[in-house]
Amino acid sequence: MTEATKPDRGRLRIDEEECKGCGLCIEACPPKVIALSERMNRYGYRTALYAGSGCTGCGICFLVCPEPGAITVLRLVSPGATRAAEGAAA
Ligand code: SF4
Ligand code: SF4
Protein backbone atom coordinates (compact mmCIF):
# COMPACT_ATOMS: atom_id res chain seq x y z
CA MET A 1 0.00 0.00 0.00
CA THR A 2 1.44 3.37 -0.99
CA GLU A 3 1.43 6.49 1.18
CA ALA A 4 -1.25 7.96 -1.07
CA THR A 5 -3.65 5.07 -0.53
CA LYS A 6 -3.24 4.82 3.26
CA PRO A 7 -6.21 6.11 5.23
CA ASP A 8 -5.69 9.41 7.00
CA ARG A 9 -4.59 9.11 10.62
CA GLY A 10 -5.12 12.77 11.30
CA ARG A 11 -7.21 15.69 10.25
CA LEU A 12 -5.90 19.21 9.98
CA ARG A 13 -7.81 22.40 10.58
CA ILE A 14 -6.26 25.74 9.74
CA ASP A 15 -7.77 28.98 10.97
CA GLU A 16 -7.17 31.28 8.01
CA GLU A 17 -7.50 34.41 10.12
CA GLU A 18 -4.76 33.28 12.54
CA CYS A 19 -2.30 31.93 9.95
CA LYS A 20 0.48 34.34 8.90
CA GLY A 21 1.68 32.23 5.98
CA CYS A 22 5.18 31.73 7.41
CA GLY A 23 5.46 28.27 5.84
CA LEU A 24 7.01 26.54 8.86
CA CYS A 25 4.30 23.89 8.91
CA ILE A 26 4.80 23.26 5.19
CA GLU A 27 8.52 22.69 5.67
CA ALA A 28 8.06 20.53 8.75
CA CYS A 29 5.28 18.22 7.57
CA PRO A 30 6.91 14.82 6.86
CA PRO A 31 4.45 13.61 4.17
CA LYS A 32 4.27 17.14 2.67
CA VAL A 33 0.51 17.44 2.72
CA ILE A 34 0.37 21.18 3.46
CA ALA A 35 0.77 23.92 0.86
CA LEU A 36 0.26 27.67 0.65
CA SER A 37 -3.13 28.74 -0.60
CA GLU A 38 -3.46 31.13 -3.52
CA ARG A 39 -6.08 32.95 -1.47
CA MET A 40 -5.14 35.71 0.97
CA ASN A 41 -6.72 36.26 4.33
CA ARG A 42 -7.91 39.68 5.40
CA TYR A 43 -4.41 40.60 6.59
CA GLY A 44 -2.94 39.90 3.16
CA TYR A 45 -1.25 36.60 4.03
CA ARG A 46 -1.43 33.53 1.84
CA THR A 47 -2.46 30.90 4.31
CA ALA A 48 -1.55 27.27 4.81
CA LEU A 49 -3.84 24.79 3.15
CA TYR A 50 -4.23 21.08 3.83
CA ALA A 51 -4.04 18.93 0.70
CA GLY A 52 -7.01 16.97 1.93
CA SER A 53 -5.43 13.56 2.43
CA GLY A 54 -2.31 11.85 3.75
CA CYS A 55 -2.08 13.37 7.23
CA THR A 56 -0.48 10.97 9.70
CA GLY A 57 -1.65 12.89 12.76
CA CYS A 58 1.94 13.39 13.95
CA GLY A 59 1.22 16.90 15.25
CA ILE A 60 4.52 18.38 14.04
CA CYS A 61 2.77 21.21 12.18
CA PHE A 62 0.99 22.14 15.40
CA LEU A 63 4.26 22.10 17.34
CA VAL A 64 6.17 24.32 14.90
CA CYS A 65 3.42 26.87 14.24
CA PRO A 66 4.21 30.15 16.01
CA GLU A 67 0.62 31.39 15.82
CA PRO A 68 -1.57 30.11 18.66
CA GLY A 69 -4.80 28.72 17.29
CA ALA A 70 -3.74 28.70 13.64
CA ILE A 71 -3.50 24.90 13.45
CA THR A 72 -5.45 22.17 15.13
CA VAL A 73 -4.69 18.53 14.48
CA LEU A 74 -7.26 15.90 15.23
CA ARG A 75 -5.80 12.44 15.52
CA LEU A 76 -8.11 9.76 14.20
CA VAL A 77 -8.04 7.00 16.79
CA SER A 78 -10.74 4.79 15.34
CA PRO A 79 -13.31 5.09 12.56
CA GLY A 80 -15.46 8.08 13.39
CA ALA A 81 -13.57 8.98 16.57
CA THR A 82 -11.12 11.84 16.97
CA ARG A 83 -9.09 13.37 19.76
CA ALA A 84 -7.63 16.85 19.84
CA ALA A 85 -3.92 16.62 19.19
CA GLU A 86 -2.90 19.49 21.39
CA GLY A 87 -0.36 17.29 23.10
CA ALA A 88 -1.34 14.29 20.99
CA ALA A 89 2.22 14.00 19.76
CA ALA A 90 3.15 13.07 23.33
S1 SF4 B 1 -0.15 16.32 11.65
FE2 SF4 B 1 1.83 15.71 10.69
S3 SF4 B 1 1.25 14.73 8.75
FE4 SF4 B 1 -0.56 15.87 9.47
S5 SF4 B 1 -0.41 17.84 8.41
FE6 SF4 B 1 0.58 18.07 10.44
S7 SF4 B 1 2.78 17.65 10.11
FE8 SF4 B 1 1.64 16.90 8.30
S1 SF4 C 1 3.19 27.50 10.69
FE2 SF4 C 1 1.22 28.41 11.37
S3 SF4 C 1 1.35 30.56 10.76
FE4 SF4 C 1 2.95 29.47 9.62
S5 SF4 C 1 1.98 28.92 7.64
FE6 SF4 C 1 1.68 27.18 9.04
S7 SF4 C 1 -0.36 27.54 10.01
FE8 SF4 C 1 0.32 29.48 9.08
Query: If DSSP states are collapsed to H, E and C, what string results for 8-72?
Result: CCEEEEECCCCCCCCCHHHHHCCCCCEEEEEEECCCCCEEEEECCCCCCCCCHHHHHCCCCCCEE
**pLDDT on residue 87:** 46
Give domain limits for the chain.
3-84
Which residues of the chain carry a pLDDT beneath 50?
Answer: 1, 85, 87-90
**pLDDT on residue 76:** 87
Q: Whose CA is nearest to atom 6 of ligand 2?
A: 25
Which stretch of DSSP H or E encloses residue 28?
A: helix 24-28
Q: Whose CA is nearest to atom 8 of ligand 1?
A: 29
**pLDDT on residue 90:** 40
**pLDDT on residue 81:** 52
CATH number of 3-84: 3.30.70.20
What distance in angstroms lies between residue 44's CA and the mean position of ligand 1's atoms?
Answer: 24
State which of 24, 36, 53, 56 you would mutate to test the pocket of ligand 1, scoring each by most atoms of that ligand within 8 A of its C-beta: 56
